[in-house]
Amino acid sequence: MPASLIDGNSLLAVDVGSVTTRAAYFDVVEGQYRLIGMGHCPTTNYSAMRNLVLGVQLAVENLQSLTGKQLMDDDGRLLIPSQPDGSGVDAMVTTFSVGAPIKTLVVGLLPEISLKSAEKLAHATYARIVDSLSLNDPRRLDEQVNTIVRYSPELVLIAGGLDGGASYSIKNIIETVGLSAYLMPEEQRPAMLYAGNRALADSIKTTLSKIASELVICPNVRPALEVETPGPAQRQLANLTTNIRQRQMPELEELRTLSGGVILPSAYAQGRMVRFLSSYYGGNKYVLSVDVGASAISLAASFGEDLHLNVLPHFGLGEPLSGLLKHTTLDEIARWLPVEIPLETVRDYLYQKSLYPQCVPATHEELFIEQAIVRQSLLLSAQTMIQRLPGRYRKPGGLLPSFEPILAGGAVLTHAPSLGQKLLMLLDGLQPVGITTLVLDHNNLLAMLGVAAEVNSLLPVQVMDAGALAYLATIIAPVSDAAYGTPIVRAKLIREDGTTMTSEVNMGNLQILPLDSGQTARLELRPLRNADVGLGPGRAGAVEVIGSSLGVVIDARGRPLRLPPNTGERVKLLKKWLKTVGG
């Protein structure tokens, strides 16, 4: 891994999404790594060709035409490493999120302890939990076996037993898993990951290695009652996820070979990058990244080194939309519409989009519906993540912890026509509190940088420093129980040139203090009526803020944000907010 620019290796990063395949080319310019260009193409796994590699070739072709850099030979083969004539690229890395959620069985000893750890592990990848087994399972043995055989899981995640603790019970459960897998057709047997009592590792190997399609033994995710160490198991799970996908899509092998084995699930790479940023931004900050994809919404929250990765396939903005109404209602989606649209139209949109995940909204009405769906899906995703967080990170009232910054990517966000629309989708969906910065991953690079770090530790840092991520806005979101219309914060923005702007913001209002991109300013905040602007209830203070096209946004609309039940009033308010942020 180069720690300096001596090698100066160029890099091609490929991300195979469920809708779009993207290829990004990075190289050294004036002593710094830069993103040179990005090509894209519809993912070809779903076309009649059913071959992901074709989509990669087309994305690279697109990249070539945009950058003028020759990366492939005349037969469409990638030129790796770089050729003496300057064509080609030194290395390639790959991330992927393509594919249906992996049917997963989670196994643990106690439901509230090791089973939770196994579930948490499953949440870190593109998994759908189909069943769980634990000591308290009330089903008869043959009921358990028949259910597992019927679900035919592709992956089994096993946790259980503290290191040095009892082993008898977990052995019994594992026997059930082994028997069930044995009864499945050989070609359908699941891959298994064991991350329980390490004293059992040898016995697990003996029991399961000939039955599982692949068996991985990891360090215990719960070595002691109060200690959880999911990191090593998450890494192994990322590899296992790749292997499972490769069995489903054999052409991934070609991408793996071209990438010199450096291939990771996008969500894992995203999480890796967020954990890195948590220390990169200094002071072990709490950093959140959200990727709104067609196959899943992924939320990576890093509290210093403590990463909590949540991949939520049921909230994806593509095929999963046909199931969204199992988690919410049409009314809850439609409440975000700034115009009146019949509920039936919203419903038809959900289902039609599940058939055609690649479609983009062609009219104003479709755009409003899509953005309403994004808001509600983000809200549900954030709530799910908050519920899964350990108590030490949760805020009273189920509010989002104080993340700073919050990074957001995904085509529905980055392709929105205006910055204001991007901002409002994030504010309404995530409902951040206190003082934070919204950062837009406008090239959807985060996962690519996360996997790039595997071969070049300098590249992600330098690419980000060069502005790969765009500041969307500084957000001040006070928490207050004051009545709507009463002032809850006084703000004074003191710009570098000495000009100032003061504002008193009422509960229920959204206000912008203009501060141009590239400028910094000092923002003095004086909360009223015991409001908490992020400095503690009623506490005043000052922060340095960075400018952006949207400036500093004071979102005093309330946390949680409550919309008027009356449709007319609500639509009027949503229109007003949209106008405030520039439409």
Binding site for another protein (CB under 8 A): 41-42, 44-50, 55, 58, 99-100, 141-142, 145-146, 149, 175, 179, 182-183, 185, 248, 319, 322, 344-345, 347-353, 355-367, 415-418
Contact 373, 321 (CB under 8 A): yes
Q: Which is nearer to another protein, 358 or 383 (CB)?
A: 358
Ranges assigned E (strand) in 425-499: 434-440, 470-477, 487-495
Distance in Å, CB of 330 to another protein, minimum: 10
User: Tokens 């500084």 belong to which residue?
Assistant: 474
Question: How far is Cα of residue 326 from the mean position of the Cα atoms in its chain?
Answer: 21
Q: What is the token pair recorded at 552?
A: 């500093």
Q: What type of residue sits at position 160?
A: G
Q: What type of residue sits at position 431?
A: Q
- Distance between CA atoms of 65 and 41, rounded to whole angstroms? 13
Q: Which is nearer to another protein, 244 or 382 (CB)?
A: 244
Distance in Å, CB of 167 to another protein, minimum: 15
- Give Cβ neighbours of residue 91 (< 8 Å, ≥ 6 apart): 9, 10, 11, 12, 80, 81, 259, 260, 262, 455, 456
Q: What type of residue sits at position 501?
A: M
Distance in Å, CB of 358 to another protein, minimum: 5
User: Tokens 């071959």 belong to which residue?
Assistant: 51
Q: How many C-beta atoms lie closer than 10 Å to residue 495's C-beta?
A: 18
Q: Which is nearer to another protein, 158 or 385 (CB)?
A: 158
Distance in Å, CB of 390 to another protein, minimum: 36
Cis omega (within 30 of 0) for bond into 405: yes
Q: How many C-beta atoms lie closer than 10 Å to residue 319's C-beta?
A: 19
Q: Which is nearer to another protein, 159 or 416 (CB)?
A: 416
Q: Which is nearer to another protein, 163 or 366 (CB)?
A: 366
Specify the DSSP element, H or E, that contains 553. strand 552-556
Distance in Å, CB of 155 to another protein, minimum: 16
Count of residues making up the chain: 583
Q: What is the token pair recorded at 279?
A: 């220390």
Contact 270, 446 (CB under 8 A): yes
Q: Which is nearer to another protein, 208 or 476 (CB)?
A: 208
Distance in Å, CB of 503 to another protein, minimum: 29
Largest CA distance in the chain: 76
Contact 376, 293 (CB under 8 A): no
Q: Which is nearer to another protein, 33 or 368 (CB)?
A: 368
Cis omega (within 30 of 0) for bond into 338: no
Distance in Å, CB of 158 to another protein, minimum: 17
Distance in Å, CB of 237 to another protein, minimum: 21
Q: Which is nearer to another protein, 156 or 489 (CB)?
A: 156
Bridge partners of 104? 129, 155
Distance in Å, CB of 460 to another protein, minimum: 27
Question: Shortest CA distance to 503 belongs to which of 473, 525, 483?
Answer: 525
93-121 per-residue burial string, b: 16 or more CB within 10 A, e: under 16 = bbbbbbbebbbbbbbbbbeebbbbbbbbb
Q: Which is nearer to another protein, 20 or 302 (CB)?
A: 20
Bridge partners of 408? 290, 440
Q: Where are the alpha helices (DSSP H) in 35-85?
A: 52-67
Q: Which is nearer to another protein, 376 or 431 (CB)?
A: 376
Distance in Å, CB of 344 to another protein, minimum: 7
Q: Which is nearer to another protein, 43 or 462 (CB)?
A: 43
Q: What is the end-to-end Cα distance of the chain in Å, rounded?
A: 46
- Distance between CA atoms of 583 and 574, rounded to whole angstroms? 11
Distance in Å, CB of 338 to another protein, minimum: 13
Contact 151, 127 (CB under 8 A): no
Q: Which is nearer to another protein, 313 or 558 (CB)?
A: 313
Q: Which is nearer to another protein, 149 or 470 (CB)?
A: 149
Ranges assigned E (strand) in 263-324: 263-265, 286-292, 297-303, 306-312
Q: Which is nearer to another protein, 145 or 218 (CB)?
A: 145
Distance in Å, CB of 369 to another protein, minimum: 8
Distance in Å, CB of 189 to another protein, minimum: 13
Distance in Å, CB of 327 to another protein, minimum: 16
Question: Shortest CA distance to 519 belongs to which of 542, 496, 500?
Answer: 496
32-59 per-residue burial string, b: 16 or more CB within 10 A, e: under 16 = ebbbbbbbbbebbbeeeeebbbbbbbbb
Kindly state the DSSP code that residue 164 receives in the 8-state scheme. Answer: T
Phi-psi region for residue 370, left (φ > 0), alpha (ψ -120 to 50) or beta? alpha
